[in-house]
Amino acid sequence: MERSNFTSEIPIYEIPGGIHPEEHKTESNQTAISSLPLAKEFVINLKAQAGNRSAPTVELGQSVLKGQVIAKNDGVFSSFQHAPTSGTVTAIEKRPIAHASGLEDLCIVIKSDGRDSWVKLERNEEYKSLSREQILARIFEAGIVGLGGASFPSHIKLQRSEGIETLIINAAECEPYISCDDKLIQENAVEILKGAEIISHLYNKLNIIIGIEDNKPKAIEAIKVAREKLKLDVKIGVVPTKYPSGGEKQLIQLLTGKEVQQGKLPADLGLVMHNAGTCFAIYEAIIDGKPLVDRVVTLTGNACPKKGNYRVPIGTPVKHLIDSVQTQDYQQLIMGGPMMGFEIHSLHAGIVKATNCIIMAAKSELSQPQDVAPCIRCGECMIACPASLLPQQLYWHAKADEFEKAEDYNLFDCIECGACAYVCPSDIPLVQYYRYAKSSIRNNRLEKIKADKARDRHEARLERIERVKREKAEKHRKAAETRRKAAEASGKNDAKKAAVEAALARVQAKKKAQAEQSDLKPKQDEGS
Amino acid sequence: MGILSSPFDKKPNSVTQLMLWVIVATIPGLIAQVYFFGFGVLINILLASFTALITEATILKTRNRPVQRTLFDGSALVTAWLIGLALPPLLPWWMTVVGTTFAIVFAKHLYGGLGNNIFNPAMVAYVLLLISFPVQMTAWLPAAELAQNSLSFYDTLSYIFTGTSSQGYDLNHVRQGVDGFTMATPLDHVKTELSQGYRIVEIQSSPIIGGLSGIGWQWINLGFLFGGIVLLLRKVAAWHIPVGVLAGMMLMSGFLYVLSPDQYLSPLFHWFSGATMLGAFFIATDPVTASTTPKGRLIFGLGIGVITVLIRTFGGYPDAIAFAVLLMNMTVPLLDYYTKPRTYGHSKNQGNRHVR
């Protein structure tokens, strides 16, 4: 694949590990971004962002315009959702979602009226007159989340204002097959840089670095032209093509030589990183007043006859996309890249804000489940790991359910990039073991919390019972006492009198008996 | 288990490929060995390979494991190959069979099979034979150009299977050098002479000691060095262990050599004699039984180098790669435990902080 000969404008540091899988990018990045016919029905997943599920604000049968809010945030760690086209809300129910689990979740279904008419948009070239809070609120209300893959709500990432010095635009796009950011930069570099300028403005000017792999020469050229035009000070950091250089932590290490310390955030290094696509979305939200209702998606794979990048409304069902490109027999349908994506289980699921690519893989294009051979401890996985973990030890411990030891080996520093499984000569699905171990540990923690709560409840209950018992006994004792006291109070003298009388009676009875006895006795003494 | 989650992309490599590369890379050394010591080594390799595959198949069946897939993963073949390369060329056939069977059954499968054994199976076989049959196991031949009597393929076969040549000569016949004395390996020779009070310079005037380390042996070592470098370039083996072995050897023997060059062999002599290069690149690098961390591998290699020189110099055996490898195999769990690399975003010493 073509490499840029542009020399990086900032020093580039080394990252450990990494792999060089076949790139497969030229298949999809040769044509301009285009559109597909509008789908008839849109399925908008309300839990498509990191954080809380959005809360629907529309009713069944309600007609909506493109860009109209259909669901709003539930708490601050959540996001807004907008109608991707004009039409009618036909269902608010659980539907299969685009997720590795293949599970269902709450979705809003909109039947398109075919007109695709927008709500009234409020353009605002003069964003600089807005306050920080106002801009953040607009970003929030435009439903913008990180478009690189994690779907982390952008307003939260932008919240912290102290100590930030540098904005890194992540344009590395290191996963094979995907070329949506590459194309977006080629065609909209000006808007992306303007978006970056808006972010910079939020912090009263940041240093801006754009990190990009050297396999995108045209995009690099486009950035050069755009910054010239905007007279914007942007440093281009060209990193060697190596997966996973686009991981947030990895790109930071490549561009700054620094590591985000365990438990810390990039912000602790004075950095904030946003994906190129997110910068574009921020530009559209602030300048054009457009909420995030569509994104660029790479449709590719050997079973896709019209490989390329398409601007696709959020919620477009996968089936509509594969039908629109008239795909031939495909063996596998992958959402995302081949390294970190997942297999699509339901064709009726709608694409989400994080959907950057759909691979329609032909037979034997991607690897098929293999017979797993025993681990021969060759250490290839360790060499490939970008986090300098020991994937092999993690594997042994995960396999043996020795979760504590797996944690000792820093299991939670694994970013699940899949480099280890890619190089494993024994075809061991390593990442799957790590996911298993991680979720088991998380479950155990939850269980522990639950168990602790249950124990606390149980102890509280026992204590309550004990207390009630104690209180009852106390009450009884008090009642008895009161009774006794009351009795004493009312008949104090009688009792005494009675006792005296009883005693007297006893004495008299005794005397009487004695007298009777002496009467019966013969008076022998007197007579003898 | 099938692939249920990412990644869906896979480097086209396999255990079998790695194993085959190891075998291919031994070929230059093997050719040198055939050139100098005849076809014995080839017959040994064949014997060991058959034994290994039959034993492996039998035991896999007994253990209810998939026979076909595991049998041809190449691991048993590599073990056999290394045993064949390490044994003296005219060793009686049944010793090769006993050693190989022991390696597969006891050193490999009783630990759980491929990936679970602690000790290098080929070296277990070698040491078993060495301590059981020390005479036969140290009966090396003089290099072809030094031998008084040449050795045909048919004679080789005859020696291995009957103990005598086709004309009925015993082993000493072919072990005689041009000067009429029975020839030992250069390392053996040096050891014997030193014990008789000779100085290194005097010993080195002997006809079997020539060039770097001795006629024949230097070329065999050069052959394995060449194949080993191919392995490193192909990334079949990591550089840490071979470099560790050679560095360990250099440090230990260099230290002794500086103390007294009259009594101790030079590092270069150590490097190119005996099983050094075969050991450094092909035996010590067995991933199953070696350390798995970069630092651990370096220490593992250093240990092998140092122990080999110590036993060669002060021990009762002329060569010691096998002992050194087995001794270092024992240290692997400890090495792995204390040489964990620093994880991204962690401070230096956190790697070994343990909740125990």
Query: Which two three-digit tokens encode residue A250?
Result: 């990895």
What is the pLDDT of chain B when averaged over all its residues? 88
Helix (H, G, I), strand (E, B) or coil at B249: helix
pLDDT digits (tens, 9 = 90+) for B315-352: 888 889 999 999 999 999 999 999 999 999 998 754 44
Res B177: pLDDT: 67
Res A527: pLDDT: 39
Instruction: State the Cα–Cα distance between residues B73 and B65, nearest whole angstrom.
Output: 13
Find the DSSP H helices in B103-216.
121-132, 134-137, 153-162, 171-175, 186-195, 200-203
Res A495: pLDDT: 63
- Is A206's Cβ below 8 Å from some Cβ in B? no
- Cα dist from A353 to A89, A279, A323, B132, whole Å: 20, 14, 21, 71
B344/A388 Cβ within 8 A: yes
Mean pLDDT across the stretch B200-221?
78
Q: Regarding the domain delimited by A34-359, which CATH topology (the fold level of the hierarchy) does it fall under? A: Rossmann fold (3.40.50)
Res B352: pLDDT: 46
Mean pLDDT across the stretch B129-146?
84
pLDDT digits (tens, 9 = 90+) for A21-52: 999 999 999 999 999 999 999 999 999 888 89
Total beta-carbon pairs less than 8 A apart between chain A and chain B: 152
Poorest-pLDDT segment among A210-219, A273-282, A289-298, B154-163: B154-163
pLDDT digits (tens, 9 = 90+) for A333-370: 999 999 999 999 889 999 999 999 999 999 888 887 77
User: Are B301 and B242 spatial neighbours (Cβ–Cβ below 8 Å)?
Assistant: yes
- pLDDT: is A149 or A314 the higher one? A314
- pLDDT: is A191 or B6 the higher one? A191
Chain B interface mutation, best of A410, A416, A441, highest count of B Cβ atoms under 10 Å: A410
A373/B73 Cβ within 8 A: yes
- Name residue B315's amino acid: G
CB interface of A with B, residues 91-110, below 8 Å:
100
Measure CA A281 to chain center: 20
Strand runs labelled E in A341-401: 342-343, 357-361
Mean pLDDT across the stretch A147-163?
89
B13/A423 Cβ within 8 A: yes
Mean pLDDT across the stretch A367-374?
81
CB interface of A with B, residues 430-459, below 8 Å:
431-432, 435
Chain A interface mutation, best of B1, B4, B6, B289, highest count of A Cβ atoms under 10 Å: B6
Q: Is the pLDDT of residue B178 over 80?
A: no
Measured in angstroms, the CA of B15 and the nearest CA of chain A are apart by 5
- Can the peptide bond before residue B7 be classed as cis, meaning omega within 30 degrees of 0? yes
Mean pLDDT across the stretch A210-218?
95
Q: Which residue has the tokens 């912000």?
A: A267
Q: Regarding the domain delimited by A373-483, which CATH topology (the fold level of the hierarchy) does it fall under? A: Fumarate Reductase Iron-sulfur Protein; Chain B, domain 2 (1.10.1060)
Q: Is the pLDDT of residue A412 over 90?
A: yes
* A262, A404, A431: residue with CB nearest B7: A431
A432/B1 Cβ within 8 A: yes
Residues of B with a Cβ under 8 Å from any A Cβ are: 1-11, 13-15, 17-18, 69-70, 73, 75, 113-116, 238, 287-288, 290, 292-294, 297, 336, 340-347, 350-351, 354-355
B287/A390 Cβ within 8 A: no
Res B2: pLDDT: 41
pLDDT digits (tens, 9 = 90+) for B238-289: 899 999 999 999 999 999 999 998 889 999 999 998 899 999 999 999 999 9
HSE of A475, CA atoms in CB hemisphere, 13 A? 6
Three-point CA angle B97, B101, B104, nearest 5°: 145
What is the pLDDT of chain A when averaged over all its residues? 91
Name the range with the highest mean pLDDT among A150-154, A493-497, B196-200, B349-353. Answer: A150-154
Q: Is the pLDDT of residue A123 over 90?
A: no
* A16, A370, A392: residue with CB nearest B292: A392
Q: Is the pLDDT of residue A519 over 70?
A: no
Helix (H, G, I), strand (E, B) or coil at A211: strand
User: Are B125 and B83 spatial neighbours (Cβ–Cβ below 8 Å)?
Assistant: yes
Q: What is the pTM of this model?
A: 0.85
- Cα dist from B238 to B81, B222, B228, whole Å: 20, 19, 10
Helix (H, G, I), strand (E, B) or coil at A272: strand
DSSP 8-state secondary structure symbol assigned to residue B351: G
A374/B113 Cβ within 8 A: yes
Among chain A residues, the shortest Cα distance to B346 is held by A262
Contacting residues of A for B3, CB less than 8 Å apart: 367-370, 429, 432
Mean pLDDT across the stretch A314-323?
95
- Is A42's Cβ below 8 Å from some Cβ in B? no
Band (B139; pLDDT cuts 50, 70, 90): confident
* B287, B336, B355: residue with CB nearest A376: B287
* Residue B167: closest CA among B182, B183, B150: B150
Band (A520; pLDDT cuts 50, 70, 90): low
Q: Is the pLDDT of residue B303 over 70?
A: yes
Chain A interface mutation, best of B344, B348, B350, B355, highest count of A Cβ atoms under 10 Å: B344
Contacting residues of B for A409, CB less than 8 Å apart: 340
CB interface of A with B, residues 125-184, below 8 Å:
176
- Name residue B114's amino acid: L
Res B349: pLDDT: 55
CB interface of A with B, residues 244-263, below 8 Å:
249, 253, 259-262
Domain residue limits, chain A: 34-359, 373-483
A410/B346 Cβ within 8 A: yes
Phi, psi of A7 (to 5 degrees): -85, 135
Q: Which helix (H) or strand (E) holds B301?
A: helix B294-314
pLDDT digits (tens, 9 = 90+) for A457-491: 999 999 999 999 999 999 999 888 888 888 777 76
* B11, B115, B350: residue with CB nearest A375: B115
- Name residue A401's amino acid: D
Q: Is the pLDDT of residue A1 over 80?
A: no
Measure CA A145 to chain center: 11
Band (A192; pLDDT cuts 50, 70, 90): very high
Mean pLDDT across the stretch B63-92?
90
* Residue A326: closest CA among A349, A357, A343, A305: A305
